[in-house]
């Protein structure tokens, strides 16, 4: 794929992940969103600004910190991780 496929100039605002909404992964796991950080300390736009936790199991708790693109993709290179993409509940 050529060209940038992520970021503010490519992803329309209506497709942005919102902290006030609830999401699950495409394979049904609960997700707790923490923050959205659009820029790094050098003021450059980041590829994966959405930070959160995937709850793999409730008891005993098994969780994983994870990052997503602004539109909820787990991987912008299309490498077979689509099951971790975010889906609004």
Which residues fall within 8 angstroms of residue 19, CB to CB, at 6 or more apart?
33, 35, 36
Identify whether 7 is part of a domain. no
Identify whether 8 is part of a domain. no
Helix (H, G, I), strand (E, B) or coil at 31: strand
Identify whether 6 is part of a domain. no
- At residue 1, the pLDDT reads 43
Identify whether 68 is part of a domain. yes
Separation CA 28–CA 32 (nearest Å):
13
Structural domains of the chain, count: 1
Separation CA 47–CA 32 (nearest Å):
19
- At residue 3, the pLDDT reads 62
pLDDT tens digits for 26-76?
Answer: 999 999 999 999 999 999 999 999 999 999 999 999 999 999 999 999 988
**Is the pTM here over 0.85, yes or no?**
yes
Identify whether 58 is part of a domain. yes
User: What share of the chain in percent tops pLDDT 70?
Assistant: 96
Separation CA 50–CA 28 (nearest Å):
18
- At residue 77, the pLDDT reads 78
Identify whether 18 is part of a domain. yes
User: Which structural domain, as residue segments, surrounds residue 75?
Assistant: 13-88
Identify whether 46 is part of a domain. yes
């Amino acid at each position: 794929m050529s060209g940038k496929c992520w970021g503010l100039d490519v992803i329309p605002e209506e497709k942005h992940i919102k902290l006030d909404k609830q999401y699950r992964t495409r394979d049904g796991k609960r997700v707790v969103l923490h923050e959205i950080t659009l820029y790094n300390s050098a003021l450059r736009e980041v590829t994966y600004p959405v930070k959160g936790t995937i709850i793999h199991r409730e008891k005993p708790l098994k969780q994983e910190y994870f990052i997503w693109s602004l539109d909820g993709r787990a991987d912008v290179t299309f490498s077979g991780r689509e099951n971790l993409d975010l889906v609004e509940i």
